Structure 1
Amino acid sequence: MVRFPSTLLLGAQLILSASSHSIPNLLPRSEQDFPYPALGSDEAADYATTGYFINHFAISTRNLTASLDFYSRILGFRKMFTLYDSKTYSITYLAHAHGGKNGTGYQTALELNREKNNAQGLLEIYNLDIPTMNIESSSQHPNTFAHIGLVVPDAQKTQERLETMPDVKIVKKYGEKFTQLTDDLVIGPAVGLPPAVVAQLSLEERVAIVEGLGGSVDPLIFIVDPDGNFIEIQGEEGANLVQG
């Protein structure tokens, strides 16, 4: 059996129902039913890019205090540092410990900072402390940003924990089925289906998208941070795209 890494986020989950396709059956798009995975090439990346990796993702916030509380208390990030560039402008870095994912890899703040440019999955937060900060998130004004993806050991237990936190807005619960694609689908912008896009789709195509996703969206959780940015949460078991 061919298994893809459990760290694959929405892309892997959304094609879960395609796992019944075997590698030899990956036919041209026009000759087989949807959905199906188009496997990547085994060709190595340009040697000149050796050592390249995604280090961090950056967002802006209207309220730094609220964002720090959310990402640390709710999602387990730790503050690496805040750089106060001026009286109003600051840059903050957050991280999960990189020493291990089973609770044995605790790192001090100094160790986190020492590994800053060798780490992955960091979150950078920009804040401008002014009276009026009218920045709209992708849930309020859809754009090319969809969501931040988080992997957890057990999605169902995470759901239960989130439900004990009244200040956490859950927009799609674990086990909640995706059965209809409408213009006002709350998680639409989080999965590349904002209202303006969905409005252009025929009923037939909407049905096809829902059927293609199948039950692969059911185990996903979507929440929003204090600014309205989508956070997707899925279990670490990931999904099998193909069998062979």
Structure 2
Amino acid sequence: MHLRILALLPLFLQPILSCNHANMARATDNTSLPLFIPGNDGLAEEVTRGYFINHVSLIVSNITASRQWYSDVLGMRHVFTFQMTKQLSIMYMAHAQGGRNGTGFQTGDELIRDKNNLAGMVEFLENKVPNHFQSKYRKFNPTAQNTFSHMGLIVPDLAVAQARFDALGVNIIKRANELDVTPSEANTMFASAWGYGDLHDPQTQKDVEEALPAIMQIGFKGFIIIADPDGNVFEVQSLVPSAL
């Protein structure tokens, strides 16, 4: 079944290469899938003025290794680490300038000062397990039952970013302009992050095949998928999108 999917990919390329926001918008008039529904919400309740997503929190196996990876690979800055007990520590990391890395430098004190006015931060929580659990190394294992899918990373240039990831030895789950849904371990990771089950299962392959035209339409083939040391998945997109 998966060979059939790969054979079908060229059939999807021509309409996808011409995909743009206008084409997607016109899909709202379609009566068949895929359907694109643009947002048209009115004003939010006044009481929610000032609300924004400040951070996500990840449980990690080694807070030091996480700090190095998120700094070296993503360019995030260490805001602070707070060791609460011998077992429990939390750490915040952020991109400066409100969540976008720019040319302006912010000291650690300035990042701490602005912590509750920053977006896109990551909080890391390390809770060292008791001795009788030490053999159970903590690792994110994406499955179709998980509610956490992935985080999104924007980069100026995907090709440059991918070359850099290679040089740094980053675990690249999916490369730019490649799309393979055969049941390998790497493909299973990003398929599970999309809520799909076992890629060896014929029904799962059928479900993926049905979704492929829409997956291609949003530009997913061009994305890069990477994983951090604990297996948490990042979907890497270009600042200037080629599709939706």
TM-score, with length taken from structure 2 = 0.79
Q: 2:92 matched to 1:93?
A: yes
In the aligned structure 2, how far is the partner of 1:25 from the partner of 1:73?
41
Correspondent of 2:235 among 232, 235, 243: 232
The CA RMSD over aligned residues, in Å, is 2.9
Residue equivalent to 2:6:
none
State the secondary structure of the residue aligned to 2:85.
coil
Decide whether aligned partners of structure 1 residues 240 and 128 sit closer, same or farther in structure 2, where only a CA change above 3 A counts: same
State the secondary structure of the residue aligned to 2:41.
coil
Higher relative contact order (CA 8 A, sep 6+): 1
Deviation at 1:98, TM superposition (A): 1.4
In the aligned structure 2, how far is the partner of 1:19 from the partner of 1:122?
29
Give the partner amino acid of 1:209.
A
Give the partner amino acid of 2:238.
G
Deviation at 1:136, TM superposition (A): 3.6
Residue equivalent to 1:118:
117
Correspondent of 1:210 among 209, 212, 218: 212
Residue equivalent to 2:175:
173
In the aligned structure 1, how far is the partner of 2:48 from the partner of 2:28?
29
Give the partner amino acid of 1:50.
R
Residue equivalent to 1:221:
224
Residue equivalent to 1:53:
52
Q: Does the CA-based 8 Å contact 1:175-1:218 persist in structure 2?
A: yes
In the aligned structure 2, how far is the partner of 1:25 from the partner of 1:156?
30
Deviation at 1:152, TM superposition (A): 0.8
Pairing 1:154-173 to 2, within 5 Å after superposition = 154-166=157-169, 168-173=170-175
Unaligned runs of 5+ in 1: 1-13
Q: Does the CA-based 8 Å contact 1:21-1:36 persist in structure 2?
A: no
Residue equivalent to 1:7:
none
Decide whether aligned partners of structure 1 residues 219 and 119 sit closer, same or farther in structure 2, where only a CA change above 3 A counts: same
Q: Does the CA-based 8 Å contact 2:88-2:127 persist in structure 1?
A: yes
Residues 20-61 of structure 1 show CA distances to partners (whole Å, capped at 9, x for unaligned) of 536465236xx23x3231111231112221111000000001
Residue-pair matches, total: 221
Unaligned runs of 5+ in 2: 1-15
Give the partner amino acid of 1:68.
R
Deviation at 1:163, TM superposition (A): 1.0
Q: Which has the higher helix share?
A: 2
Residues 155-196 of structure 1 show CA distances to partners (whole Å, capped at 9, x for unaligned) of 110001111123x21110112135x47596331122232438
Deviation at 1:104, TM superposition (A): 1.9
State the secondary structure of the residue aligned to 1:218.
helix
State the secondary structure of the residue aligned to 1:227.
coil
Residues 213-236 of structure 1 show CA distances to partners (whole Å, capped at 9, x for unaligned) of 126112211111111111111111
Decide whether aligned partners of structure 1 residues 101 and 228 sit closer, same or farther in structure 2, where only a CA change above 3 A counts: closer
Decide whether aligned partners of structure 1 residues 26 and 103 sit closer, same or farther in structure 2, where only a CA change above 3 A counts: closer
Give the partner amino acid of 2:210.
A
Give the partner amino acid of 2:174.
K
